Structures are given as C-alpha cells and as structure tokens.
Structure 1
Amino acid sequence: MSEVAEMLPALLVAVPILLAAVPIVLGLRLERTGWSVAAVTTTALTAATVYLAAAVYETGRVVHVLGGWGETENRPQGVGIELVADEFSVLIALLVTITAAGALAYMRAGGPRGNTFYGGYLLLVGGLLGLSLTGDVFNMFVFLEIVGLATYAMIAAGDGPESAVAALKYLILGTVGASLYLIGVGFLFMATGALNMEVLGEAIPQIAEEGGSDLTLLRAAFAFIFVGFALKVAQWPLHTWQPDAYQHAPDGVTPVIAALVSTVSAYALGRIMYNVFGPEFLTATPYLTEIVVAVGAVSVVAGSTLAVIQRDVKRMFAYSSVSQFGLVVAAYGLVTQTAFVGAVVHLIGHGVMKAGLFIAAGLIAVGYGARTVDEYAGLAKNRPFAAGATALLLIALVGIPPSAGFIGKWYIAVGAVQAEAWTVAAVVFLSTMLTIAYAARLLEKMYFTPATPVESPHPPGPVAADGGEPAGRDSIRRGSPEAVSFGMLAILVTIALSAVVIGFAGGAFFEWLEPFTSEVFTE
C-alpha cells in the first residue's frame, strides 16, 4: 500500500474543514469566490476518493492512525483516533464527494451565492467524510455535531421565517439525537473501557458471553444509540424535523442534505450495529431485532402514507425519505448478509435519486414557478427535459427494473424471505404500491393534465438566483426559460441516467462488499 493511500483518509477529512475558512477570508476583499473554492475542493476530493477506493479494492482496508499513536506500545487498548477506509465506508465517501461536486453545477445558477454559505458547505462535506471514515465511536459524535451545525446554518440560509423555524427545530431535535448517542457511547466505555470500533467489536462478544452488569450496560448503550440515530435518520415518530427542513431550505441546499445527511447517519447506524455490537449480540439480545424491524417497517408505511396526501412537492419527497430510510433500518434488523447488502445498495440508490428529485423540484420552481402537485400540470409540454428526468427518477424511486430503487428493494425482500420475516417482505411490496400512488400523481399532472389558468403558476417578478434580494444583472425571473442554466439541466439528466445505471450494478455491489460482509457475518 502506498504512503499516499495511507494519508488519504486524513486528508479527505482535514482539507475541506480547513478550507471552509477560505471563502470567508476571501469574502473580505472579493465577492462570490466561494463557489469556485468549493468547486475546486470538491472536485479534488472526488478524485482522491476514487484513488482511495482503488487502493481498497486492490489491497483491502486502509487505516490511518492520527499522529502515529498506534505505533507506540504504550498506547492504551481501544484509545486513539483512527480513520478507516474499507469496502463499506469508501462507498459512502464516494457518494458524498460525487454528490457534493455534482450539486455545485446546480448551485452555480440556482443556489445561494454568499461566500459564508460555501464555507459552511465545505464544513458539511468534511463532517460527512469524517462520519463516513471514522473508526472511533466518540469521534463519530464529534463529526455528527459538525454535520449538524453546518446543516442548521444551510437550512437557515433560506428566505422567510419558515426557514429559521425549520432550522431551529432541526437544531433542537438534532442536538437531542446526538446527546442520546453520546450517552450510549458513555455506557459503551463504562462496559469495555474502549472507544475504538475494532476493539469494541472484539470485546462485546466476550462480555455478552459472560453476562453480568456489563451486559446490561451494553444493552442500555445500544438503546440510547439506536434512538439517537433513529432521530437523525428521521424514523417515525421522530421524523418531524425532516419535512420542514427539506421544504423550507433553499432549493440549492435541499438536494445536498436530502441525499447525504440522513444517508450518512443511516450508514453510521449500520456501522455501529454490525462492526461494534456485531450480529451475534443483535440476535442474542431478546426483542432487539424485532424492535429494529418494527421501527423500520412502521416508518415505511407511515412515511409513504403521509407522502401520498401532500400537496407541496418538496414535502412529498421529504416524507418519501422517511419511508425509504425505514426500509434500510428494517433491513439492518434482519441481520442477514443479503438484506445488509440490500440496505447498502438502497442507501446509495436513494442518495442518487433524492439528489435528482430535489434538484428537479428546485429547477422546476425556478424555471416554471411550480411548487405544488397541481402546478405541475402541463409541465411535460413546457419543460420536456425537466419533466422527462423527473419521470425517470420517480419510476426509479418506485422500483421499476432496471433501476437503483429496484435492486435495493429486491435484495432487502430476498433477505426478508431468507430470515422468514414475511412482514418485512409484505412491507416492501406495500411501500412500492404507496410509492406508485404519489409518483403517479406527479406523472399524471405532468403528462396527462393540461395546464389551466387556475393550475398554472403565476411567476413573481425578478429575483436573485439564490432566492434573496434582487442582485442587479444576476437577477432572473422565475417561470422564464432563461432562469434555468444548461448546467442545472445537465446535472439533472445525468443523475436521472445514473439512477438507471446503478440498477445494473447489483452484482458488482455484492462482489465489492463481499470481503466486508464475509468478515462481519462469519465472526
């Protein structure tokens, strides 16, 4: 393994966090340089992550111990900061960097432009990469807080009091979730004396076998950690922050937080469940897997049902995310290799699809003036490329093969059958039917309902591309074709096509994750 590959995990986390100050400093002398700094940084991060993924594929996991503390014999067991790139984490890191870079193509014309915003954007990317690559449960809390603080600021960047209220709600509930997680970490440390995930993964089975008070601490730790992540991943009934946050965040912000923030939190939950506690602890603890599956299954039904009755498109997609993440949590609770791979595939696919759908919603709002389902009437005639890409993403979300939505649901359903969890298999089918219900509403409006004077949106006057105050020559008129740039449309079409391409990669995902799953499920 090359020295460059060994340093990459640390650089991927440190570089965006350090460069987050650059747009703010440059803003003292220059205006609107933040986008350029963010674009160069995220492009370089994408290239570095691809290189790291290649190294993982060739040589296996890459571990970087900060400060080289792991090289000393006096290092206490399980203490120290490690960053780990393996088959699981590097997939999420690729999703983060590619999405972060791609979303900037939309933000160039359709997103916030302030230098401070892009400073927060780079801080968010660094936090997400840290959350993806950390090998330490306490530092996972640190990165959760970095991600949370950056997300609060980005949601509050929207216009109007609704954005501020949504950000405050996310701040309060997100802090509660992180605090519950930290309490769980405290119980873990009390029971094991370790914080390193690998050491914890070795110590917990021994404690579970011996029993006693330490086992009670472990069960309490899992309970607090799971509830904390259930809030972060927006599982019903702890989901209430997500619809408001997604609806009232700026159109350029929503694709990023929808595709990445809860997705990486769901990844972190899977990492804790399988690398720290392990399948044996999960299956041996009474009612644990049943509770996890029940939380996920109820979230699937509740989220899909609430999505069906929404009129605002962004709010509909937000409730859809509650449902889709419910599938992932339920798959985690099945504790089978096939269901776990399905959960990972669904995480990747959902991140891609939701990034595309929220970019489409923002693009249509800017270029057509439509934000509600009724206002999408006649969209296919007036905006054929935007409507076509949106339709393709909706079909993928339903799970029509070949698409990203199908392959993830397929593996989860197969894993449910293997585990004889017939309720989960039924929930997968029911979620597909409910997804068809709200997707069909949009498709029917776009392609089969002519626009009427009542349904047609009424574009306001000139507004800035970031939705703020008019900005001179940068002002645009919502509802006009010139409001949508080529880059905005190109990134939407690219994401829609990617959602189909991922559907053909099911076998590749299984092969890629095989070293990780074999180690986890055979121990």
Structure 2
Amino acid sequence: MSDALLPLLIALPLLAGIFPLLLGLRFERAGWPVAMTASLTVAVLAGWLAWAVSPWSGGPQRFVHDLAGYPAPYGIELVGDGLSAILALLISVVAVAVLIYGRTTGPQTNAFYSGYLLLTGGLLGMALTGDLFNLFVFLEIVGLVSYALIASSDDGRAAYGALKYLFLGTTGASLYLIGVGYALVATGTLNMGDMATELAAVGYTDPLVQAAFGFILIGFMLKIAIFPLHTWQPDAYTYAPDTVSAFISALVSTTAAYALIRIAYDVFTVDFFAANPLITDAVLLVASVSIVVGSLLALLQTELKRVFAYSSVAQFGMILAAIGLQSETALFGAVIHLVGHGLMKATLFMGAGVLASAYGAQTVADYAGLAKRAPITSGMMAVAGLALVGIPPSIGTLGKWFIALGAVEEGSWGVAAVIFISTLLTLTYIGRLLETLYFNQPATTDDETGVVGDAGDATDDGSIVADGGDTERATAGIDDVAPVATERIVVVVVLALSTVALFGAAGLFAEFLDPVFGRFFQ
C-alpha cells in the first residue's frame, strides 16, 4: 500500500486543479475550499509516506512504484525514500501554510487556485520521480504555472518579471533536456537507477557523459538561480503577489536543487566527480562566487523583497558547493539547509507581505519603528532573519554548520572561508533590517494615532483590531494602517517558530537520510 502513496501524492493535486475552474462556473468562491481540502489531504499523505520510510515503521525504507505496471527501464518509476519524503513533506506543509495565509490576500480567482494546485503537483512530481524525462515534464509544469502565477498581480512589473523568468526558465529546461538526450544516447535508458549502472559501464570520462552532466548542471543552475544565471529571480520574487512570492521562494528553487542532488549522486554518483576533478573544481568555484556575490548584492538592495531574493542566490550557492564537495557531512547539511531555506523564506516573504499590507512598507527604510507597531510580525521576521544568518538555535545553524564542516573535512578551506564571509554579510543586511525595525524612528510619527501591535481583522463596523496591542487606540480611526487577517500573522508565527524547533532535529534527519546516503556513498 505504501508504494501507492507515490502516485496519489502527485495525481491528487493535479486532478484537483480542475475543480476550482469547473465549480467556478456555478460558485464564485469555490477555489480556496477545494485547494485547501486537496492540500490538507496531500499533507496527510506526505506524512504517511514519511512514516512509511522511517526507521520506526518496521518496513522497507525505500518504495518504488511502476506506473501502469510497466517495470523499469521501460516504464516510469516513482521513488519514495527518506530524502524524497522529507521534500514531499516540506512541499505539502508550505502549501497548506501559504493557502491559509492567502485566504484574504489573493489573488482570489478560481484560476489562481487551479494554478496553485498544478504547481503543488508539479513540485511533488519532481520530488518523487525516478525517470529523467518524467522529471523534465514536471519541471515544465512547475515552470509554466510559476510564470502564470507571478504575472497574476495587477502590477505591470509582475508581467515583466514573469516574462524574464519565462525566457530564462525555458532556456534552463531546454539545456537540461539536451543533457538528458546526451545521457540517453550514451546509456540507452532514462531510468535513474538503470542509467547509473550504464554510466559506470560507459565510463565517466567519456565526452558524451561529461557533456550530459554539463548541460544538466547549467540547466539546473538557471532554475535554481546560481550566479550569474540568477537574473530572473529578483524581479520574479519582488513583483509577484505576496502569496505567490512566499510559495515560489520557499519551494521552486528548493525542489530544483533537490533534483540536482538526486541526479548528481543517484545517477552520476560520486565516482563521476572523482573521475572528473576539473568539473568538481568548476562546481566549487561557481558555487563560491555565487555565495559571495549573492550576499553582496543582497547587502546593496533597499527593497526588502529584493534583499531576500538575492540572499537566495547565496544560500543556493551553498547547496551547490555541498554537491561539489562529495562529502556526506556537507550533503547532510545541504538537505537540512534546503528544508530550513524553505521555511525561512516562506516566513520572511509572508512577514514582509503582512507589513506591506498593513503599513505599505516596501523598502528597508519603510520598516523604521514598525517593531513597536507590529511586534509579533516583526519579532517573527527577526527570528527567521537570524536563522538565515545561522544564529543558534535554528535550523539555519545546522545547515551551514554541516556544509562548512564537510568542507573542512575535505580540505576545502576556501569553501569554508566563503561560507564564513557570507555569514558575516548576511548578518550585516539582516542586522540593518533589525536595527531599522527596533531602533530607528519613522520619518513621521504621530503618538496620538500610533498603533501598538499588528494590524488585525477588521471588526463588523470596519475598525481595526490590534493583535496584542491597545484596542482602544487601535480602533480610533487610524488612516495609515490597513486591516490584516489574524490567520496571516498566525502562519508567520508558526513557521518562524518551526525554524527554531528544528534546531534539535539533526538526529531525526540523520535517521531518514542514513539509508539514502549509504547508497550515495557506498
């Protein structure tokens, strides 16, 4: 029964994506309930899968499902193990959280919720497939839906960001497909497990094999947004609706990075890196440049969403460095960092959306003094920001620590130094944000109409209810604060606290990943 979870996890959101449009012919607000029902069901199934592959279930820790009963290498396999289960759980949890956050935020159209479910299904397909061409299909689903969701904002700049993403994202997918084509010519198969065996027989120094990896790597570097192939990301993240920014920043590049890990270690294996030291050195060099330049570009930004977007360039540079290090310790840190990055970026973009809705804050300067007016949201953004730096106790600490430790173990002191420099730069721009929030005064302050607390739900008469503040003063008719639904703040709190709670989960991650890494580093 457990292997049947794999197609269910993918098919459920893809098929459910039809219903917001169909029911929308009769019911104007059908989209959100359908999307939430489907996402909650997917979250339950993902939790079930995580339990099934866990060491405590007593069963096998790897499940394979042959679609339509056709076995590999001719049929398409879906694979569930500790690594894919972790990612599926992350996708499903963030999908539910963003839906709760977006109930009152929008876009509210039924078409948006259909796209949202299609994107969720595409991400789960990327996480669970064991076939390289099938991965391309899901990669395209994710890309095409992402372009549409980014452009769903009323801001014309969102269309520009989506168009740039479309051009570069399509280029990345095409390069990936070319690489898969070369690998197919070299091995005669598209199944990941079967291709790993055939590549070893062909030889890792064969020019066709090297070209295949090179095209796949560059294609994913575009999708992940590694410098200098990152230029689509800042505009896409900045101008998309807040709900979309939170979702794609947390999951789209994260899932692409997972796919690169899977291909590098499950298909090409560590033996490929050992046989091609120049490729390994190139990967580490590009990753190191991306870490430093991404951090510097984030430091130079004034608009907060762009700060977070450029920081992702640096964070995914660390993931790429972990791939090139060929270290089990570093790869362990990379997986933890993927999970942490998803949770941290979802929290930061949601928090930014709350403060933008309530106070119109867009730039770092706009955040001056907001910690006094919105202490809860500001505090949770501070927690997620410090986790992004790597301040303990947080999951961000674990990810960076193990990647840096793996670099030291492998003698790559340059990579370890680059991670340290990036951490200092991250501390600088997050520190600037915290200083602005907590210690700077707004340009114009009216103590008589100031609000203590986060903007909350509007009451029946349209007044604003403060979350944790002075209700009497909050309902006094404040012109510069817009109402924000309480569930948006609750989601930000839960996700921010999860980044702290997972600090103690290193052992849990190790239990899930030991069988997978045993196969990667055998």
Is TM (by shorter chain) over 0.5?
yes
Candidates 52, 55, 64, aligned match of 2:52: 55
Equivalent-residue separation in structure 2 for 1:453 and 1:79 (angstroms): 68
TM-score (norm. length: structure 1): 0.92
Aligned positions of 1:149-160 closer than 5 A? 149-160=144-155
- 1-structure distance, mates of 2:408, 2:292: 19
Task: Provide the residue aligned with 1:299 in structure 2.
Answer: 290
Structure 2 letter corresponding to 1:366? S
The correspondence of residues 27-38 of structure 1 with structure 2, limited to 5 A, is: 27-38=24-35
Q: Does 1:432 align with 2:427?
A: no
Give the Cα–Cα distance (whole angstroms) in 2 for the partners of residues 482 and 448 of structure 1.
Answer: 23
- SS where residue 189 of structure 2 aligns? coil
SS of the residue 1:253 aligns to: helix
Aligned to 2:471: none
Shift of 1:429: 0.4
- 1:491-502 alignment, distance < 5 Å: 491-502=491-502
Give the corresponding residue for 1:111: 106
Matched, 1:19 2:20: no
Q: Structure 1 residues 372 and 185, CA, compared in 2 at 3 Å: closer, same or farther? A: same
Q: Report the identity percentage.
A: 50
- Residue in structure 1 matched with residue 487 of structure 2 by the alignment: 487
Task: Classify 1:370/1:84 alpha carbon distance in 2 versus 1 (closer, same or farther; 3 Å).
Answer: same
Listed one character per residue, the Cα deviations across residues 298-321 of structure 1 (whole Å, up to 9, x for unaligned) are 111011000001010001100000
How far off its partner does 1:252 sit? 1.1
1:438-459 C-alpha deviation (Å, 9 max, x unpaired): 0011100000001122999xxx
What is the rounded CA distance, in whole Å, between the counterparts of 2:496 and 2:478 in structure 1? 24
**Matching residue of 1:391:** 382
Residues 353 and 499 in structure 1, CA contact (< 8 A), matched pair in contact too: yes
CA root-mean-square deviation: 2.2
Work out the CA distance in 2 between the residues paired with 1:404 and 1:395. Answer: 10
Residues 1:142 and 2:143 aligned together: no
Q: Within 2, Cα distance between the matches of 1:374 and 1:95?
A: 33
Given the alignment, which residue of 320, 323, 326 partners 1:335? Answer: 326
CA contact (8 A) 2:357 2:482 kept: no
Q: How much does 1:478 deviate?
A: 11
Which of 3, 6, 23 aligns to 1:6? It is 3
Residues 175-229 of structure 1, C-alpha deviation per residue, up to 9 Å, x if partnerless?
Answer: 00000000000000000001000101111122217x6xxx211100000000000
Partner of 2:232: 241
The change in CA–CA distance for 1:490 and 1:497 in structure 2 (over 3 A counts) is same
* Alignment partners' CA distance in 2, 1:413 and 1:504: 18
Alignment of 1:231-310 (within 5 A): 231-310=222-301
Superposed CA deviations along residues 117-156 of structure 1, whole A, max 9, x for unmatched, are 0000000000000000000000000000000011001000
> Bigger shift: 55-64 or 311-320?
55-64
Q: Secondary structure at the match of 1:135?
A: coil
Aligned residues of 1:78 and 1:193 also touching (Cα < 8 A): no
The SS at the match of 1:518 is helix
Is residue 40 from structure 1 mapped to residue 37 from structure 2 by the alignment?
yes
Q: Which residue of 2 aligns with 1:65?
A: 66
**Aligned to 1:198, which of 193, 198, 218?**
193
Task: Flag the 1:479–1:380 CA change in 2: closer, same or farther, 3 A.
Answer: farther
Q: Which amino acid aligns with 2:170?
A: T
SS, match of residue 27 in structure 2: coil
Task: Report how far residue 237 of structure 1 moved.
Answer: 0.5
Tell me which amino acid in the other structure corresponds to 1:501. Answer: A
Cα distance, 1:482 vs structure 2: 5.6
Residues 24 and 116, structure 1, Cα contact 8 Å, conserved in 2? yes
Distance 2:407 2:510 in 1: 17
| Number of the residue aligned with 2:162 | 167
Distance 1:485 1:323 in 2: 33
Q: Match of 1:68, as an amino acid? A: G
Find 1:366's aligned residue among 346, 357, 368. Answer: 357
- Give 3-state SS (helix, strand or coil) of 1:157's partner: coil
Give the Cα–Cα distance (whole angstroms) in 2 for the partners of residues 315 and 146 of structure 1: 25
- The size of the alignment, in residue pairs, is 497
Gaps in structure 2 of 5+ consecutive residues: 448-455, 457-461, 466-476
Deviation at 1:479, TM superposition (A): 7.4
User: What's the CA shift string for 1:52-100, capped at 9, x where partnerless?
Assistant: 1111113211111100112xxxxxx622111101111111101000000
Query: Helix, strand or coil for the counterpart of 1:298?
Result: helix
Q: For residues 192 and 42 of structure 1, what CA distance do their matches in structure 2 show? A: 38
Matching residue within 345, 357, 361 for 2:348: 357
Rounded to whole Å, the distance in 2 between the matches of 1:85 and 1:101 is 21
Whichever residue aligns with residue 197 of structure 1, its letter is M
The C-alpha deviation readout for 1:395-429, integer Å capped at 9, x for no partner, is 11110111111100000011001110001100110
CA positional deviation for 1:111: 2.6
Counterpart residue type for residue 138 of structure 1:
F
SS at structure 1 position matched to 2:70: helix
Q: Call closer, same or farther: CA 1:218–1:51 in 2, change over 3 Å.
A: same
Match of 1:347 among 338, 345, 348: 338
CA-to-aligned-CA distance 1:341-365 (integer Å, 9 cap, x gap): 0100000000000000000010110
Contact 1:367–1:479 (CA under 8 A) maintained in structure 2:
no
Which of 369, 378, 389 is the matching residue for 2:369? Answer: 378
CA–CA separation in structure 1 for the residues paired with 2:242 and 2:53: 35
Segment of structure 1 superposing worse, 352-361 or 54-63: 54-63
Q: Distance in 2 between matches of 1:478 and 1:521?
A: 61
Q: Say which SS state the counterpart of residue 392 (structure 2) adopts.
A: coil
3-state SS, counterpart of residue 65 of structure 2: strand
Q: TM-score, normalised by structure 2?
A: 0.92
Unmatched segments (≥5 aa) in structure 1: 71-76, 457-464, 466-472
> Contact between 1:366 and 1:478, CA under 8 Å: does it hold in 2?
no
Task: Measure the CA separation in 1 of the matches of 2:479 and 2:171.
Answer: 40
Give, in whole Å, the separation in 1 of the partners of 2:369 and 2:350. Answer: 19
CA distance in 1, matches of 2:482, 2:154: 22
Task: Check conservation: 2:77, 2:129, Cα contact below 8 A.
Answer: yes
SS in 2 for 1:451: coil
Paired residue type of 1:181: Y
Distance in structure 1 (CA, Å) of the matches to 2:311 and 2:256: 17
Alignment check: 8 A CA contact 2:367 2:437 kept: yes
Q: Evaluate the alpha carbon distance shift between residue 454 and residue 299 of structure 1 in structure 2; reply closer, same or farther with a 3 A threshold.
A: farther
Checking the alignment, whether the CA contact within 8 Å between 2:131 and 2:190 is kept in structure 1 is yes
**Secondary structure of residue in 2 paired with 1:49:** helix
